[in-house]
């Protein structure tokens, strides 16, 4: 069921339905003890970025809930980049990765991330979406070739991961760094507090609503297969 035990050495009450290292790092930064669930779902590309990440996060959440014990909190997330009206998912190969990076060169992209959270056995969970705008440097063929050698583009939305070498490609970010990384902290804390407030560490229970700002949208989520 769980690929790893609690980060604090005890049985976790929180599970992350993802193998993403950046997402694990973000949970660790928030001081949450958690376990990992390996889920395998068919991801979709919908009409809009928001619809895409919300549905993929929902699918991952449902898959994770089926694996976790009753009463556990499951977190799932999905992220895409959108530029020039096109959604950029994970590249199939280096040719696709090169094309994505050429599109991003000297321009900007919107990172759209969704976080789905629910307690196993509950009829409803919470779904929060967050956006950030990434502005890129001009990416010459030499830069793109170098970035491909890091292997970071493969398996990343838009062939771009900001957590390691990808940050070097950017000029600036409008919005949350963690949103671009794949697990937006503001959306995550809002979603967690709405479904599992009493089980959260004190600071996470009482985030002022004003901190959600205009980039985060939060709603309830009916849990069904």
β-strand partners of 73: 14, 119
Kindly report the backbone phi and psi dihedral angles of residue 163, in degrees, each rounded to the nearest multiple of 5, phi listed first: -65, -30
149: left (phi over 0), alpha (psi -120 to 50) or beta: alpha
- pLDDT on residue 131: 97
- pLDDT on residue 157: 85
pLDDT tens for each residue of 145-196: 999 999 999 988 899 989 889 999 999 999 999 999 999 999 999 999 888 7
Interhelix angle 21-29/185-196, rounded to 10 degrees, is 70
Which domains are present in the chain? 2-222 (3.90.950.10)
Identify the residue whose tokens are 């094309």: 99
Answer whether 77's CB lies under 8 Å from 157's CB.
no
- pLDDT on residue 2: 40
- pLDDT on residue 8: 38
Answer whether 194's CB lies under 8 Å from 218's CB.
yes
Q: How remote is the C-alpha of 125 from its chain's centroid?
A: 17
- pLDDT on residue 185: 95
Strand 170-174 and strand 124-136: the pairing is antiparallel
With vertex at residue 41, the alpha carbon angle to CA 37 and CA 45, rounded to the nearest 5 degrees, is: 130
- pLDDT on residue 197: 67
214, HSE (Cβ side, Cα atoms, 13 Å):
1
- Provide block-wise average pLDDT over 10 residues at a time, the chain (225 residues): 40 84 93 92 93 96 94 94 90 95 96 96 94 97 96 90 92 95 94 80 77 90 84
H or E stretch covering 187: helix 185-196
pTM over 0.85: yes
Euclidean distance between CA atoms 176 and 112, whole angstroms: 11
Euclidean distance between CA atoms 93 and 77, whole angstroms: 23
> Is 78 considered catalytic here?
yes
Q: How remote is the C-alpha of 70 from its chain's centroid?
A: 24
């Amino acid at each position: 069921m769980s690929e790893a035990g609690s980060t604090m050495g005890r049985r976790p009450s929180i599970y992350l339905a993802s193998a993403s290292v950046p997402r694990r790092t973000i949970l660790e930064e928030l001081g949450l003890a958690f376990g990992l669930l390996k889920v395998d779902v068919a991801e979709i590309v919908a009409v809009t970025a928001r619809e895409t990440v919300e549905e993929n996060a929902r699918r991952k959440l449902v898959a994770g809930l089926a694996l976790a014990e009753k009463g556990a909190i499951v977190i799932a997330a999905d992220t895409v980049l959108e530029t020039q009206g096109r959604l950029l998912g994970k590249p199939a190969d280096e040719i696709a990765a090169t094309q994505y990076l050429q599109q991003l060169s000297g321009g900007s992209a919107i990172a759209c991330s969704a976080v789905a959270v629910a307690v196993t056995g509950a009829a409803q969970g919470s779904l929060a979406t967050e956006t950030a705008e990434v502005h890129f440097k001009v990416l010459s063929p030499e830069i793109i070739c170098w970035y491909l050698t890091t292997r970071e583009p493969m398996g990343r939305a838009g062939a771009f991961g900001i957590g390691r070498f990808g940050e070097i490609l950017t000029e600036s970010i409008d919005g949350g760094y963690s949103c671009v990384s794949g697990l937006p902290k503001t959306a995550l804390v809002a979603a967690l507090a709405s479904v599992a407030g009493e089980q959260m560490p004190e600071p996470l229970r009482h985030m002022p609503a004003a901190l959600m700002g205009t980039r985060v949208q939060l709603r309830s989520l009916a849990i069904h297969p």
